[in-house]
Amino acid sequence: MKNSNTFKKVISHAKEYGFVFQSSEIYDGLSAVYDYGQNGVELKNNIKKYWWDSMVKLNDNIVGIDSAIFMHPTVWKASGHVGAFNDPLIDNKDSKKRYRADVLIEEHREKILVKINKDVAKAQKRFGDSFDKEQFLTTNGRIIARQKKIDKISERYQKALDNGNLHELKQIIIDYGISCPVSGSKNWTDVRQFNLMFDTRLGSLSEDADVIYLRPETAQGIFVNYLNVQKTGRMRLPFGIAQIGKAFRNEIVARQFIFRMREFEQMEMQFFISPGEEDKWFEFWKEKRIKWHLALGFGNDNYRFHDHEKLAHYASAASDIEFNFPIGFKELEGIHSRGDFDLTQHIKFSGKKIQYFDHKINKSYTPYVIETSIGLDRMFLSVLSMAYTEENIGKNNEKRVVLKIPPALAPIKVAVLPLLKKDGLPETAKKIFNEIKFDFNCQYEEKDSIGRRYRRQDAIGTPFCITIDHQTKIDNTVTLRYRDSMKQERLKINEVQRTISEKVLMKNLLN
């Protein structure tokens, strides 16, 4: 079972095996900023490729771009981020800790739901097969009262968000006795809005230097390039523009490892469509994206959709794909129906005619947009935490930690290992290594016992090991060892390249 204890183990494993390091660690780190190590960067690149191939390579109506992080400051006025990209913050006067008011309320509501689920589980155990969940939920007094409480909170919360009523957000926190997790007190300040964008200055320290922002989403780089791409690529609606790149947010509740970072990467795709087709394409992309996740084989139960109550300022509908992280179900990807909000705003602020001429109806209009937006770092975390497995093996119940990363995403695909450091075995192993290293990431290792080398490869998720032993010299075969089953089989040297290639293909996931 994956839980907060697993989370701690995943974090320390990520560091110990070169996946993720705290940024500027020798200076005690920088909060919510992380570096990817030698194995982390490979895993990250493979996740990017999995996403990019599924979008750009497999769809002839989706193309990619790579826009700059710095953009004209007016972009962020037009997009609404200067005015509305805020979090409602509240401080506890005793602990001096700062929280997002919306998160405090949502977590409180979630706690009540957990209590309901516990009661249901208990009753289910007590009544066995004769248990009627529906009847229990609708007749049990305690459950009804709790559900009523949730509904009431949701109603007030939604209304407060819709009206931007910060006073009411505070009142909900007071009325439901929500206390500070650190001090336990209910001594709260008023709720204030806090803009999440980082700003800096362009050029030297001249007096008239302009304030510019580090982009808080990659999407605007796509919107401002809509015309460039549409015209130069002669794109016809519906078509998409995809991009992978860094985004920056001055997150206040910045905790939970790489789940919520101040500098992170997004993989976003804006799909431009004719107005009126948004419902159809919203459903289309929801389905397509969940299939992409499920293909990794981490189990359907670990994903769920969550429709937004609090819509971002640009969205007319939004649904999250939530993943069962060791810290619970949390947002992994957002699918947003953005209407013509962004392009219309850019028309207004730039004065440029950003439209599409539809030959079918002989008319120009501003396209609507469906967006898919996934955090690369969160995706990385989902893969790492699902892959992390502890097993007891062998007669002595020895513990092994293995990362069961899907082979196509694994940092190293195959380790080439001479059984001993003598008898010409290293020479044969190096010859094999030098032949296959052009095809996929390989590692050559000859230090320590073969068992210890297998464990090290298990710990970084290498799906295959090739071992060169004395029999290799006799019949030109090697041992192929499988990471997950630990099974071994003999394989002809001249079949190594083809056999491994087939097993690590990105196509195996994309199909």
Number of residues that bind ligand GAP (CB under 6 A): 19
Residue 249 engages ligand GAP in binding (rule: CB under 6 A): yes
Residue 75 engages ligand GAP in binding (rule: CB under 6 A): no
Helix axes 425-436, 496-504, angle to 10 degrees: 50
Least distance CB 197 / ligand GAP (angstroms): 12
Give the nearer residue to ligand GAP in terms of CB position, either 371 or 469.
371
Least distance CB 494 / ligand GAP (angstroms): 44
Among the listed residues 186, 196, 31, 165, the one whose alpha carbon sits nearest the alpha carbon of residue 102: 165
Residue 268 engages ligand GAP in binding (rule: CB under 6 A): yes
d(CA 66, CA 453): 40
Least distance CB 71 / ligand GAP (angstroms): 14
Among 332, 370, 417, 465, binds ligand GAP (CB under 6 A): 332
Residue 500 engages ligand GAP in binding (rule: CB under 6 A): no
Calculate ∠ Cα 441-446-452, nearest 5°.
90
329: enclosing H helix or E strand = strand 328-339
Pick the piece of the chain touching ligand GAP (CB under 6 A) from 23-31, 207-215, 264-272, 415-423. Answer: 264-272
d(CA 300, CA 323): 10
Q: Residue 41 has which token pair?
A: 């960067």
Pick the piece of the chain touching ligand GAP (CB under 6 A) from 146-154, 260-268, 350-358, 436-444. Answer: 260-268
Residue 266 engages ligand GAP in binding (rule: CB under 6 A): yes
Is 161:102 a contact under the CB 8 Å cutoff?
A: yes
Residue 170 engages ligand GAP in binding (rule: CB under 6 A): no
Least distance CB 103 / ligand GAP (angstroms): 13
| Cβ neighbours around 194 below 10 Å, total | 14
Residue 240 engages ligand GAP in binding (rule: CB under 6 A): no
493: enclosing H helix or E strand = none
Residue 109 engages ligand GAP in binding (rule: CB under 6 A): no
Residue 44 engages ligand GAP in binding (rule: CB under 6 A): no
Among 334, 367, 407, 418, binds ligand GAP (CB under 6 A): 334
Residue 87 engages ligand GAP in binding (rule: CB under 6 A): no
d(CA 239, CA 234): 10
Q: Where are the beta strands (DSSP E) in 196-275?
A: 199-201, 211-213, 239-248, 263-273
Per-residue HEC secondary structure of 117-157 comes to HHHHHHHHHHHHHHCCHHHHHHHCHHHHHHHHHHHHHHHHH
Which of the residues 348 through 407 are near ligand GAP (CB under 6 A)? 371, 373-375, 377-378
Which of the residues 198 through 217 are near ligand GAP (CB under 6 A)? 217
Residue 261 engages ligand GAP in binding (rule: CB under 6 A): yes
Is 35:259 a contact under the CB 8 Å cutoff?
A: no
Per-residue HEC secondary structure of 373-432 comes to EEEHHHHHHHHHHHHEEEEEECCCCEEEEEECCCCCCCCCCEEEEECCCCCCHHHHHHHH
Residue 232's DSSP bridge partners are none
Residue 219 engages ligand GAP in binding (rule: CB under 6 A): yes
Least distance CB 42 / ligand GAP (angstroms): 20
Give the nearer residue to ligand GAP in terms of CB position, either 102 or 371.
371
Residue 46 engages ligand GAP in binding (rule: CB under 6 A): no
Pick the piece of the chain touching ligand GAP (CB under 6 A) from 100-108, 226-234, 327-335, 437-445. Answer: 327-335
Radius of gyration of the chain (CA): 27
Among 42, 278, 333, 342, binds ligand GAP (CB under 6 A): 333
Give the nearer residue to ligand GAP in terms of CB position, either 371 or 458.
371
Per-residue HEC secondary structure of 14-28 comes to HHHCCCEEECCHHHC
Give the nearer residue to ligand GAP in terms of CB position, either 90 or 219.
219
Give the nearer residue to ligand GAP in terms of CB position, either 381 or 480.
381
Give the nearer residue to ligand GAP in terms of CB position, either 272 or 433.
272
Residue 339 engages ligand GAP in binding (rule: CB under 6 A): no
Give the nearer residue to ligand GAP in terms of CB position, either 260 or 481.
260
Least distance CB 261 / ligand GAP (angstroms): 4
Among the listed residues 355, 353, 371, 346, the one whose alpha carbon sits nearest the alpha carbon of residue 80: 346
Pick the piece of the chain touching ligand GAP (CB under 6 A) from 20-28, 70-78, 168-176, 329-337. Answer: 329-337
Residue 81 engages ligand GAP in binding (rule: CB under 6 A): no
What distance separates the 2 farthest-apart alpha carbons in the chain? 81
Tell me how far the alpha carbon of residue 289 is from its chain's centroid. Answer: 12
Least distance CB 338 / ligand GAP (angstroms): 8
d(CA 326, CA 341): 36
Residues that bind ligand GAP (CB under 6 A): 217, 219, 249, 251, 260-261, 264, 266, 268, 331-334, 371, 373-375, 377-378
